Amino acid sequence: MRFETLRLPLNSIICAFLCSLPLQAQEKKTEIRFTSVPDIFNWNISNPQPGWEDTLDWFFKLLKKEGPDFNLNAGDIMDARWWTNAEQVRKKTEEYWTGFNKRYADHDLKVYVAPGDHEYGDDGGLKKGDIARAFGKQFTELMGMPKNGPENHLGRAFFVRQDNLLVITLDTFEDAGKRFAYTVGPKQLTWMEKTLVDHKDAEFVIVQGHLPIVGPVKSKNSSASMLKDGTKSPLWKLMVKHKVDAYFCGEHHRITVKKHEGIWQIVHGALWGTQTDLNYLSGIVKPGEMTLKIHEFDVEYSGGYIGDHPHRGAKNKPREKVALTGKSQKEGPRTTGMLTLKAGSDKEATTGWFRKALDVQPAKKK
């Protein structure tokens, strides 16, 4: 009886305390923060890479601060022009791709990578079916991506669901026998549609793949590849049908933002080791709202050229030293575009690159 007498006042005290908390504390909402950096190297960069580590450490700490939940990478993580045989592919990918993964792990940063053409040996590798398949096998085994995708692209096409955000990663290269095609095939599309239907309650949907779909786009130091059939492709039609919010891609090493049929295509990324104006994207997703920002910063190069780049000219290689410019070191990245989307609404707030984007109208039938 004595215990019961004490318990009632204690319960009253706890109730009074909880009721006195600010409303915001009682209704704490989730927030997802991520970054995107396609074509981060596009060269064979070791871990560690002498002459690069200070700048890379600065950049990866920035990625961790901006997007602690995960980083998206729409492909071309190395140069990877290893065309001799499957054994060479195995040895080189184990060396460079393992080092790439360790760099993210050292910064406690989860990365989701979509295969780029360089993950199949670049354009030259994609022309050799046996070599491209060897690369695909290594990607599945080494990169550690989720294995919830179609069997013929296991670990190369997958999805991640976090709270109200669905992210689908695609492999924009399909095995066509003697070579690989620049497309997304029927099995991937069937899996993708099922994923979209199963997660129709997601407020926001992002798809990432290496190849842009809506053209034209700016390009520099790139083979400028695009997805076959563009906006007439089954992939694009599927994304329009299910009202995908944004499509992240790379390949072209320049920034081009386009809005077409309700979907924002964001081409970004740059060629570390060659280009001096670099960029990344950050995103924040809250209940009912997603904000995307494009950031740019500048670096400078010195020294000679890094070796181990077969089938390249003497100077068609990354430089030995990379450093932030004085301005970037002092001021940090500059935000050059922002987009805010509201769930279930056509209302959008845009600045910079996003404001410049025009809705590309389909060509008129003759």
pLDDT tens digits for range 164-173: 999 999 999 9
CATH code where residue 209 lies: 3.60.21.10
- Those residues whose C-beta lies under 8 Å from the C-beta of residue 6, and which sit 6 or more positions away, are none
Residue 165: both structure tokens together: 């955000």
Query: Which residues, 6+ apart, have CB-to-CB distance to 357 below 8 Å?
Result: 257, 258, 259, 264, 350
DSSP string, 157-223: BEEEEETTEEEEE----EE-SSSEESS--HHHHHHHHHHHHHTTT-SEEEEE-SS--SS----SSS-
Is 242 contained in some domain? yes
Position 4, amino acid? E
Output b/e per residue, 118-137; b: 16+ Cβ within 10 A: bbbbbeebbebeebbebbbb
Residue 2 is assigned to a structural domain of this protein: no
What tokens does 7 get?
A: 């318990």
Q: Rounded CA gap, 261 and 233, in Å?
A: 14
pLDDT at 358: 59
Residue 30, pLDDT score: 84
Q: What is the DSSP-derived secondary structure letter of residue 29? A: P
Distance, CA of 126 to CA of 121 (rounded, Å): 6
Contact predicate 329/297, CB 8 Å: no
Structure confidence by residue, pLDDT tens digits, 250-288: 999 999 999 999 999 999 999 999 999 999 999 999 999
HSE, CB side, 13 Å, CA atoms: give it for residue 206.
27
Asked if the structure places residue 22 within a domain, the reply is no
Q: Is the pTM of this model over 0.75?
A: yes
Question: Is 172 part of a structural domain of the chain?
Answer: yes
Domain count, the chain: 1
> Interior CA angle at 170 toward 169 and 171, to 5°?
135
**9 in a structural domain:** no
In this structure, is residue 5 part of a structural domain? no
Specify if 76 maps to a domain. yes
- Please list the alpha-helical segments (H only) found in the chain: 2-20, 23-26, 53-66, 86-106, 122-126, 129-142, 186-198, 234-241, 326-331, 352-356
- 365: in domain: no
Convert the pLDDT of each residue in 112-146 to its tens digit: 999 999 999 999 999 999 999 999 999 999 999 99
Range of the domain at 175: 29-356
Beta bridge partner(s), residue 278: 297
Give the residue ranges of the chain where pLDDT is below 70. Answer: 1-29, 358-366
